[in-house]
Amino acid sequence: MTLGRAEGTLKGDGIFRRLRQDEEPAGSRRYKLNSMKQSVRLAGGIEPLFGTRDENLKLLESVLGVTTILRDNRLEIDGEAEPVERAARLVESYNELIREGRNFDDGEVKAALHLALAEPDVTLRSILAPSRPRVFGKKSVSPRNSNQRRYMELMEKHDMVFAIGPGGTGKTYLAVAMAVSALLTKQVNRIILVRPAVEAGERLGFLPGTIQEKIDPYMRPLYDALYDMLDADRLERYLERGIIEVAPLAFMRGRTLNDSFVILDEAQNSTSEQMKMFLTRLGFNSKAVITGDITQIDLPAERRSGLVEAIEVVGKIEGIGLISFTEGDVVRHSLVQRIIRAYEEFDGKQAAMAFPSAGRQTPGT
C-alpha cells in the first residue's frame, strides 16, 4: 500500500471507473478488460482500519488481489472488478459503523476482516456490531474465525451448548466473555464457573494448604479470563458477594441453578455420573456451556469420560447446541496448530501399530 498526498480526483469522482487498454498511455501498466478502480471516502478511524504497519490493508490486498492507495481521505482500490467491489463494500461497511460513533482497535478490525474475507456473506456490521448487545467489561471481544462466530451465536440462541476441540481455540475464553456480557446486560444474576478437580498426573493430597488453596490452581485459567474482562476491584466484589462463583464440579451436587450462566470447563475429565448431575442442575432462565478436549482425558483408563458419553446421549436433543473446533481454529501462536497436528498424526500411527491387522480378513475366511 502506498501513502501519499492528494494527487487529484479520479475521473468521474472515482465511482466504478472501468479502465480499458486504449485509455492507458504507451508503456504504462496494461489493464484487463474487466479491471476497475474505485475510490471510497473514509469517514474516520483510519488507523484501526489500516492496522499496525498497514497489516489490515495488506490482508485485504493479498486475499482479494487488489491494490490500494490513500489520497487525502480517500482510499483508491484497483484490480479486477468483483474483488474491487467487494473491498469497497467492506470499507463502506466500516464507514457506516464509524459514522454511528463506534470505536474499534486495529485487532478487532483485523479479526473482523479475516472472518469477512473467509465468508463472503458475512458483513463487518454482523461481526463488530451484532444485533444483540454484547458488553465485555474492559475488554473488546470479537470472533476470529467462522467457528468462533458460530459458537457465540449458539450461546446466544441455545440454553445449553457443548464446545469440543483442542486448546487455544477460544472455547473457555469466549464462554466466559459471553457470561460476563449476560451478567452486565442483566440477562442473568450470576456466573458460575466449574471445573472437575482432576489432577493431570499429580496428587492434590500432597499439596499444602486448605482444600480451597489446593483447588485454586486448577481454577486459575477461569480467574485469568475474568480478570481480563473485569476490573480487579469489581471482580473481587462479585466474588465476595457470590455474584461470580468459581468452584469444583463436586460442589454442584444438590443445587438448582436459576438465573445463572454456568460454564463447565475441562469437561472431558468429568465422569458419567458427574456429567449427568451437572446437566440436571440447570434451572429457570439459565444457560450452560460445556467445553472440553476429548483428546486430553486425565481420568483413569477404566473410567469413561462424561463428556464423550453426553455428546452421544444428549447431543442431538432439540435446544442443545454443539460445535466442534479443529487445529485450524487455534488462535494462539502458529506453532500450536502444527504441534496439535503433529500429535494427531503421531497418535494415528501409534494406533495403526497397535492394531496392524485391523480391517484385514484372515486367509481362508
Which pLDDT score is estimated for 355? 67
Q: How far apart are CA 287 and CA 300, in angstroms?
A: 30
pTM of full prediction above 0.75: no
Which pLDDT score is estimated for 277? 95
Measured CA to CA in angstroms, residue 343 lies from 118, 292, 329, 338, 348 at distances of: 27, 17, 16, 9, 8
The cell numbers describing 144, all together, are: 476470529
Sequential DSSP letters for 134-182: ---TT-----SSHHHHHHHHHHHH-SEEEEE--TTSSHHHHHHHHHHHH
Which pLDDT score is estimated for 197? 75
The cell numbers describing 108, all together, are: 478487532
Which pLDDT score is estimated for 211? 54
Which pLDDT score is estimated for 302? 85
Sequential DSSP letters for 257-273: B-SEEEEE-SGGGSBHH
Which pLDDT score is estimated for 209? 58
Q: How far apart are CA 123 and CA 117, in angstroms?
A: 9
> Tens-of-pLDDT digits for all 365 residues of the chain?
444 433 433 333 333 333 333 344 444 444 455 788 899 999 888 898 998 888 889 999 999 999 999 888 899 999 999 999 999 999 999 999 899 888 888 778 888 888 888 888 777 887 777 766 677 877 778 787 888 889 999 999 999 999 999 988 999 999 999 999 999 999 999 999 999 876 544 445 555 555 556 556 767 888 888 999 999 999 999 999 999 998 889 889 889 999 999 999 999 999 999 999 999 999 999 999 999 999 999 888 888 999 999 999 999 999 999 999 988 888 776 677 678 778 878 888 887 787 665 544 444 44
Which pLDDT score is estimated for 7? 40
